[in-house]
Amino acid sequence: MLTETLKGEVDVTIGIAVIGAGYWGPNLVRNAQATPGLRLEYLCDLDEARARKVLGDYSTVRTSSSLDEVLADPAVDAVAVATPAATHLPVAMAALRAGKHVLVEKPLAANYADGRKLVDEAERRGLTLMLDHTFVYTPVVQHLRELIRSGGIGTVQYLDSVRINLGLVQPDVDVLWDLAPHDLSIFTAILPDDVVPIAVSAHGSDPIGAGRACVAHLTIELSGGAMAHVHVNWLSPTKIRTFVVGGSTRTVVWDDTNPAQRLSIYDRGVDKADPQTLPEDRRAQAIVSYRSGDMVAPALPEREALRAMMAEFADAIAVGRRPLTDGRSGLRVLSLLEAASASLAHGGAFMPVLEDSELMEVSA
């Protein structure tokens, strides 16, 4: 919506409604209210009393239990969907068909086919469809993206991520669908365009009899011979959040539980030996040489990733550009999750991942 500033200049203020006042909705409310360019109009929830409780007694933001009412209001330009994954398709689709830009909590939809419907609809209508892949907007991941995609660690050789804690066992999804989207969205954000997933193998266990995998390991074959590994776990008494990216020239270690030094860049590694540089009596045995250099810990700002994500949503709408975590990135994550589920069902066999060219055709 166009408004006039005090100086008479035309500015863009985007009216937004948050759909869902449960676990994640209040975080979206708080950051929408703090983001320049956004104007929070509604908090919508089937339990309107819960929505009013989130907003407090003195808020001027309206509450509603009716999605139709919210979508019919011309003051609402965009919606942020924070409802269960099974409802993402009907809620987001209704918003798109009402001409609203849409931000969706991960995952994009309950399955790839539903996610593709949303991407196609947004493309047909020229609307912004964005994923709330919050970790992508942390200063650490933004730094990693620039470093890796600029060739700062050389050729990517491997990625290894551990995301474990004593977590809430979800009633409708396994641990892969609950936790792995964070890591998979990071992979898609930081990897160079020519490094893409080819196949996925997944192994999981349910030692507490929850009826779904509570501990899982995911292995992803990447083009160029690289490999990625993800370990997710609801049952660990300790919280571990580590992420390692090994390159041909440098290795990066991210420890998200260490605020004093979240990121460490090591100029250390293993190189294939050049026999011609070694003494003649060692040439036959030498396979590799070891490189030992400095470690650098970049000084990174501490800022709320969700605030940066909301700012990206507002700017993408205002400028008319694709956001960093657009619908296509959500489809990439869904394609990996579906391949992982298929692998679990087939005893850990490698399952092919939808090729990036096919994803491109979705929005062509």
- Reported as half-sphere exposure (CB side, CA atoms, 13 A), residue 218 has a value of 35
| Domains of the chain, first to last | 2-133 (3.40.50.720), 136-307+332-362 (3.30.360.10)
Which residue from 29, 51, 53, 25 is spatially nearest to 40, judged by alpha carbons? 29
Q: Which helix or strand (DSSP H or E) is residue 261 part of?
A: none
* 317 phi, psi to nearest 5 deg: -70, -45
* 80 phi, psi to nearest 5 deg: -115, 120
* 64 phi, psi to nearest 5 deg: -160, 150
d(CA 70, CA 103): 15
Structure tokens at 364: 């062509």
Q: What is the pLDDT of residue 275?
A: 60
pLDDT tens, position by position, for the chain (364 residues)?
434 333 333 367 999 999 999 999 999 999 999 999 999 999 999 999 999 999 998 789 999 999 999 999 999 999 999 999 899 999 999 999 999 999 999 999 999 999 999 999 999 999 999 999 999 999 999 999 999 999 999 999 999 999 999 988 888 889 999 999 999 999 999 999 999 999 999 999 999 999 999 999 999 999 989 999 999 999 999 999 999 999 999 999 999 999 889 999 999 767 666 666 656 655 555 566 667 778 899 989 888 999 999 999 999 999 999 999 999 999 999 999 999 999 999 999 999 998 655 554 544 4
Contacts with 33 (C-beta within 8 Å, 6 or more apart), sequence order? 40, 61
Strand order from edge to edge, sheet including 251-255: 288-296, 263-272, 251-255, 235-247, 156-166, 227-233, 215-222, 197-205, 351-352
Q: What is the pLDDT of residue 282?
A: 58
Strand order from edge to edge, sheet including 78-81: 62-64, 38-44, 14-19, 78-81, 101-105, 129-132
Which residue from 106, 75, 109 is spatially nearest to 90, judged by alpha carbons? 109
d(CA 81, CA 178): 17
Q: pTM for this one?
A: 0.87
